[in-house]
Structure 1
Amino acid sequence: MKNNIWQNTGLIWLLVFGLFSCNNVTLVVRNLPENTPAEGNIFVAGNFNHWNPSDKTFILEKQANGFYTITLPRGLGFVDYKLTRGDWKTVEQDACGQDIDNRSLEYGAQDSVFVDVESWADVGPTHCPHVTVIIDQLPATTPPNAPIYMASNFNDWGDADKEYQLVQNKKGQYYIRIPRSGQELSFKFTRGSWDTEEVNQLGETIENRNFMFGKTDTLRVHIDNWKDLKPCTNPTITIIAKIPANTPRNEDIYMACDQNGWNLQDPRYKFVRQDATHCSLTLANPLENNFEYKITRGSWDKQEATLRGEQSENRKLACGWMDTLNIEVLKWYDMANASHE
């Protein structure tokens, strides 16, 4: 009997010790972004609830002073957590709309933990001290983990300035943060020299990018190609042309270009009609250099024209930068001018 009494007593003391050795901690959210939707709840998700972003057991309660609070379950050790408004699309982010690391607290270190939410993922930041420039799309030819730099009027157009080297976020996207300024930002991207600067789809040098600081906290851009890396190893290129609906069905469409001496009816450069408004031409072995061209119906009187019926400028094509090119013939010179006679 005595043994049972001592055993029961020991069990009681273990329960009491376990109960009082665990700690409570209250999470207090003091400030929310000014663009936080008025309706909806604030949730806490963490390693204590399997990171459920919409767990109704862990909704914070709004207090009279405007703070949001919740007392977490008793426990020991560390808690990792983040705040959401009900799903991961509404998770908290930093002042500039970037993902943050998990928050962490230690049971017993303090009774209350005070936090401020700087922005939400779905509504964006409101008080970012700088603008974040993110490259959403890179050329497929970009070497893995290649260094990418911003050359701009802010750094005297340095093409490999370490202070303007972009870093990668958790998604692998390159980004850079630029302090706000009253001056317009003009910039381009390079991989460390002007021989590796960004170019357009045709491999041509692009104009400087320009950005005027304002309310926008994030600028998203994409890079078409790099000057030194041609994306196409296949020498074949297909040109798909959309032509006016009034194009005579009995007339052939040609490309006249400097590669064929501007021959207006070169059978090697004759398009194949796809339907009433589309035709295509595949060049199997175009020259490596850029070339100029125009679309005609076999004579200069029947060349392509602008919307105003004027002769258009020569088109340009750089081989090796794409395998398919879509173009549109707006009008035919003879038909546009005949309608005005």
Structure 2
Amino acid sequence: MKTVKERNHTALTEFIQLGFGSGLGLKVGHFVVFLAIYMTTVLANTIMVFLIGTSSCVHTPMYFFLMNLSLLDLCYSSSIALKTMASFLAGSKTISFIGGATQFFFFDLFAATEAFMLAAMAYDRYTAICNPILYPIAMSKQVCVQLLVGSYVCSGVNSMVQTVYTFTLCFCGSNEIDHFFCDFTPLISLSCTNTDINELEMFTLSGLLIMSTFMVILVSYAYIISAIFRIRSAEGRHRAFSTCTSHMMSVTLFCGTLTFMYAQPSSLSAPAQSKMVSVFYTLVISMLNPLIYSLRNKDVKKAFRRTISSVFLK
């Protein structure tokens, strides 16, 4: 039996991610599910990036953000899925303290950046529909790049604060995380010190991030809907609204699950429930986003048909 000193040392150098169970059948089944979701995510987002990057008909601000959203989804899902699948195969559930902090940082970075990206896309749709004359100036290439860089900078600062606050806690006793990746709630449950300040900080920062991006989206769509209702022709209203429906679906899925997970005290969340919701917003949404945008977007489908035709014609 390990001494207290040895247990403290182990807890400070590595964590054990319990995941979904230890049975061989469970590991194989979960590996197959994770692999199928991840491969679909990689394929769908890679195709989206390729189509937008090579097709001249989709070189607009909206598709600039959509391409970066696909790149972000690739990184977002990879930061979680690769380590999780490796643990299923290798049978080792351990992750080093530095590895856990790194995983936590990048997961938080990509999640926050996606929230900012969705807000920037809402602003883009607002400008296109409500101020079409000023659209080329308001959403110039320089502005788009500034919005993209600003999203990563703000998310990076947020992620660094969250990581430092979490991993400077004093961990002692058990080093087993009841989750499949290093997330905030299961991590602070291992701390032997008072975590009220950390929970307040997490609740405040997450709430501010979710609410600020959601308010940008909400206000943008309030103006968009108002502008659409002023369009006299039914065809015009349908065309304007169709450019927003895919984005609205992505926002609902992403913000809804994040709000459910992080905008509530940790005492109200159950581990099993958190795992299932986490699978949805770390993997499933990244897989669904390119499908949502491609299936409901005429320009993307047109670019896809042109690419396929050019390949077979050669």
Name the TM-score class by shorter chain: under 0.3
Greater radius of gyration (CA): 1
Larger RCO (alpha carbons 8 Å, 6+ apart): 2
TM-score between the two structures when normalised by the length of structure 1: 0.20
Larger helix proportion, structure 1 or 2? 2
Larger strand proportion, structure 1 or 2? 1
